[in-house]
């Protein structure tokens, strides 16, 4: 299957040195007891395509490793308890204050344990980078159609990883029990209490009584360092395993087909490069962590339900949920059957899961609409799937508007506009933005496809003007090489599904919807250039 994996290096002709004899013996010893050589051979020959965007998942993986390492350090010193203590460490503005042991121990990590602040900052920055890298990796997979058969399941696992990462982030953010995280938890508490009927029960269960209670930090700690990481590592294992089994997708190019993968095999080159890349990621994180403050809990102060700071925001990945709450207009609460129905909250806890579910199940939705059952190993260029790219752009816009809404107050102060103005504009944009993004993206994709087609058939404008014998001026078009053209013309063609009667000779509503959706998906399309067209062009 793999075309360019170099043959395994054969035994050297010279007599082995002492060192290599030792390694050989050791390797043999291990192999005879674990039969690991088969696995290494298999894995070692896994091919990685060398487009940069294929490394985003790696960035996420490496930041996760950094998180694990720095997090382990933090667990040695953190006390997950909400017992009241009097702070007596070296941060003067908090000296003598009553606070929870969790907060006090986080202050100690920051000020009294050597390297503690650096580790805290590494851990937090790495967490932000981890989720950002996952986000970008998901966008890459989405926009190149790399989630199509046979990779749908891996997409879902990836999505689960994304959710787990957010949950990890949120529980971690809450652990120091500072004012900011307490306010964040208070919002979550409000969200939960807004759920009709069972909300209050759940809140009492979660916080062990009335918010904030005395249990939540200890519980979040177990979830944060044990439960979620265990699930995350398992899901990550499955994700990587499936990636090895399914192999990578690759962009179309000379010699790259649906049946091969072109790139470098893991061993030895890629492994070395990846090892180096791990240190690059680690290095960037440490550099940022040593130069830039993150989550200065000492200024936030210990959690106390009364003060709330201006500019209270969650970490970026929870921002979209905070923004959704901020965008709900006032007055969506009413009393019915002696109960308060908080639609300002109910709408948010309905809309966000629907949005997330659409992301999670997108491969199946698209598969159903297109009726495409083929296996795909060639990554699509986004322009060649205009409808999908446009849907993606609409989704990104929706998310971005919610995200912006979470920082509405900062937008207001920094651009000298009123916060109401910002909110109203964003309220309009949350509906209009995705529509505009959809239309514009689709047009742009089709425009680009037309240009590709034009270039594939007629070459590109060389800027050289020639005068013909008849006196006429023409611009010379440079023809593409076959290699270059291949990139432009090799993509799948699709057509809307036809409505077909089923076995009973009936046309079901499901089929009608499907056909309608399929028409919407594919009605505007540019056909790939065919061989005949190219040949005709050359005569």
Partner 1 sequence: MAKNTLSTARRGRRHPLATIALIVIGLVSTGGAYALFSSTASANTPASTTTATVDQGKKLFAANCATCHGVNAGGVAGVGPSLYGVGAASVDFQVSTGRMPLANQGVQAEQKPAQFTKDQISALATYVASLSPGPGIPDAKYLKGNGNLANGAELFRINCAMCHNVAGAGGALTQGKFAPTLSGVLPVHVYEAMVSGPQNMPVFNDKNLTPAQKADVITYLKYLDQNPSPGGIDLGNLGPVSEGLFIWIFGLGAIVGVTIWIAAKAN
Helix (H, G, I), strand (E, B) or coil at 464: strand
Q: Find all residues with CB under 8 Å of 301, minimum gap 6, and list them.
A: 94, 97, 178, 179, 307
Q: Which residues pair with 85 in a beta bridge?
A: 99
Using rule CB under 8 A, residue 281 touches partner 1: yes
> x/- string (CB under 8 A) for partner 1, residues 23-52?
---------------------------xxx
Q: Is 4 in the site for partner 1 (CB under 8 A)?
A: no
Binding mask 217-256 for partner 1 (x = CB under 8 A): ----------------------------------------
177 binds partner 1 (CB under 8 A): no
275 binds partner 1 (CB under 8 A): no
Q: Which stretch binds partner 1 (CB under 8 A): 64-72, 217-225, 314-322, 506-514?
A: 314-322
Alpha-carbon distance of 95 to 89, in angstroms, equals 7
Q: Which stretch binds partner 1 (CB under 8 A): 91-99, 153-161, 334-342, 529-537?
A: 91-99
Verify binding: residue 465, partner 1, rule CB under 8 A. Answer: no
| H or E element, residue 84 | strand 84-86
Q: Are strands 339-342 and 98-100 parallel, antiparallel or unpaired?
A: unpaired
Q: Round to whole Å and give the CA distance between 7 and 4.
A: 9
**Contact status: 108 vs partner 1 (CB under 8 A):** no
Question: What contacts 20, CB < 8 A, 6 or more positions away?
Answer: none
CB closer to partner 1, 177 vs 366: 177
- Binding residues among 292-311 for partner 1 as defined by CB under 8 A: 292-296, 298-301, 304, 306-311
55 binds partner 1 (CB under 8 A): yes
Told to check if 2 binds partner 1 by CB under 8 A, we report: no
CB of 27 to partner 1, least distance (A): 28
- Interface with partner 1, residue 402, by CB under 8 A: no
Is residue 84 a contact residue for partner 1 (CB under 8 A)?
no
CB-wise, 401 or 457, nearer to partner 1? Answer: 401
Closest approach, Cβ 118 to partner 1, in A, equals: 9
CB 161 within 8 A of CB 134: yes
Distance CA 369, CA 92 (A): 63
Q: Is 319 in the site for partner 1 (CB under 8 A)?
A: yes
Q: How far apart are CA 251 and CA 455, in angstroms?
A: 19
For residue 473, the minimal CB distance to partner 1 (Å) is 38
97 belongs to the binding site for partner 1 (CB under 8 A): yes
How far apart are alpha carbons 398 and 432 in whole angstroms? 9
Q: Which is nearer to partner 1, 97 or 516 (CB)?
A: 97
Helices 343-360 & 179-193, crossing angle to 10 degrees?
100
Q: Where are the beta strands (DSSP E) in 468-527?
A: 473-478
Q: Token pair 């399914």 is at which residue?
A: 246
**From candidates 47, 101, 122, 128, binder to partner 1 by CB under 8 A:** 128
Separation of alpha carbons 404 and 433, rounded Å: 12
Write down the least CB distance from residue 1 to partner 1, Å. Answer: 21
Q: What is the CA radius of gyration of the chain?
A: 28
As measured in angstroms, the least distance from the Cβ of 73 to partner 1 is 16
Give me the helices (H) in 112-145, please.
116-143
Structure-block tokens of residue 185 = 């938890």
187 part of the interface to partner 1, by CB under 8 A = no
Residue of 90, 222, 530, 536 that binds partner 1 (CB under 8 A): 90
* By CB under 8 A, residue 114 contacts partner 1: no
| CA separation for the pair 173, 188 (Å, rounded) | 13
- Does the protein bind partner 1 through residue 290 (CB under 8 A)? yes
| Nearest distance, CB of residue 351 and partner 1, angstroms | 22
Q: Is 347 in the site for partner 1 (CB under 8 A)?
A: no
Q: Does 92 bind partner 1 (CB under 8 A)?
A: yes
- The Cα–Cα gap between 413 and 408 comes to 9
| 331 is a contact residue toward partner 1 (CB under 8 A) | no
129 binds partner 1 (CB under 8 A): yes
Q: Is residue 3 at the binding interface for partner 1, with CB under 8 A as the rule? A: no
Q: Which of 280, 435, 474, 507 binds partner 1 (CB under 8 A)?
A: 280
Q: What gap in Å lies between CA 348 and CA 352, rounded to an integer? A: 6
Question: CA angle, corner 131, sides to 126 and 137, nearest 5?
Answer: 120
Minimum CB separation of residue 329 from partner 1 in Å reads 15
Find the binder of partner 1 among 189, 315, 366, 452 (CB under 8 A).
Answer: 315
Taking CB under 8 A as the criterion, the residue among 100, 105, 108, 121 binding partner 1 is 121
Burial string for 308-347 (b: 16+ CB within 10 Å, else e) reads eeeebbbbebbbbbbbbbbbbeeeeeeeeeeeeebebbbb
* Minimal distance, residue 400 CB to partner 1, in Å: 11
How many of the other CB atoms lie within 10 Å of CB of 437? 22
Least CB distance to partner 1 at residue 419 (A): 5
Distance CA 401, CA 414 (A): 17
**Interaction between residue 502 and partner 1 (CB under 8 A):** no
Residue 206 in contact with residue 192, Cβ under 8 Å? yes
473 makes contact with partner 1 (CB under 8 A) = no
Q: Does the protein bind partner 1 through residue 103 (CB under 8 A)?
A: no
Q: Which residues pair with 467 in a beta bridge?
A: 473
**Geometric angle at alpha carbon 90, from 85 and 95, rounded to 5°:** 50
Residue 256 phi, psi (nearest 5): -105, 120
For residue 480, the minimal CB distance to partner 1 (Å) is 18
Query: Of 194 and 302, which CB lies nearer to partner 1 in the complex structure?
Result: 302
């Amino acid at each position: 299957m793999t075309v360019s994996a170099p043959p395994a290096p054969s035994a050297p002709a010279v007599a082995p040195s002492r060192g290599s004899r030792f390694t050989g013996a050791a390797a043999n010893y291990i192999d005879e007891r674990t039969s690991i050589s088969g696995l290494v051979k298999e894995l070692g020959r896994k091919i990685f395509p060398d487009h940069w965007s294929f490394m985003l998942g790696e960035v996420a993986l490496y930041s996760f490793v950094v998180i694990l390492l720095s997090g382990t350090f933090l667990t040695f010193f953190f006390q997950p308890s909400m017992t009241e203590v009097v702070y007596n460490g070296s941060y003067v503005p908090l000296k003598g204050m009553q606070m929870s042991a969790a907060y006090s121990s986080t202050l100690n990590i920051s000020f009294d344990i050597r390297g503690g602040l650096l580790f805290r900052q590494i851990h937090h920055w790495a967490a932000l980078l981890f989720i950002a890298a996952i986000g970008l990796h998901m966008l890459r997979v989405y926009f190149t159609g790399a989630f199509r058969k046979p990779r749908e399941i891996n997409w879902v696992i990836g999505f689960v990883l994304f959710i787990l990462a957010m949950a990890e982030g949120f529980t971690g953010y809450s652990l120091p029990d500072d004012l900011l995280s307490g306010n964040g938890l208070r919002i979550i508490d409000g969200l939960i209490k807004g759920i009709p009927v069972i909300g209050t029960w759940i809140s009492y269960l979660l916080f062990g009584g009335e918010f904030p209670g005395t249990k939540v930090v200890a519980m979040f700690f177990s979830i944060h360092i044990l439960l979620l990481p265990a699930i995350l590592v398992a899901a990550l294992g499955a994700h990587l395993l499936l990636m090895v089994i399914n192999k990578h997708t690759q962009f179309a190019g000379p010699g790259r087909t649906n049946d091969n993968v072109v790139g470098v095999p893991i061993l030895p080159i890629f492994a070395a490069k990846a090892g180096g890349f791990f240190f690059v990621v680690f290095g960037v994180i440490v550099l940022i962590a040593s130069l830039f403050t993150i989550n200065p809990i000492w200024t936030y102060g210990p959690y106390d339900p009364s003060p709330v700071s201006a500019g209270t925001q969650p970490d970026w990945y929870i921002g979209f949920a905070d923004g959704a709450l901020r965008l709900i207009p006032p007055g969506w609460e009413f009393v019915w059957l002696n109960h308060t129905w908080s639609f300002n909250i109910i709408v948010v806890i309905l809309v966000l899961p629907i949005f997330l579910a659409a992301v999670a199940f997108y491969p199946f939705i698209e598969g159903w609409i297109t009726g495409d059952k083929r296996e795909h190993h060639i990554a699509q260029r986004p322009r060649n799937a205009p409808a999908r790219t446009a849907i993606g752009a609409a989704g990104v816009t929706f998310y971005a508007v919610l995200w912006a809404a979470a920082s509405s107050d900062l937008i207001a102060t920094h651009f000298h506009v009123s916060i109401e103005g910002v909110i109203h504009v964003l309220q309009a944009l949350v509906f209009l933005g995705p529509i505009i993004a959809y239309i514009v993206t689709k047009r742009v994709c089709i425009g680009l496809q037309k240009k590709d087609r034009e270039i594939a058939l007629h070459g590109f404008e060389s800027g050289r003007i020639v005068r013909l014998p008849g006196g006429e001026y023409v611009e010379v078009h440079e023809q593409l090489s076959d290699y270059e053209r291949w990139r432009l013309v090799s993509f799948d063609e699709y057509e809307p599904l036809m409505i077909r009667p089923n076995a009973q000779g009936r046309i079901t509503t499901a089929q009608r919807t499907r056909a309608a959706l399929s028409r919407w998906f594919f009605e505007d399309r540019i056909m790939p250039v065919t061989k005949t067209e190219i040949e005709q062009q050359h005569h």
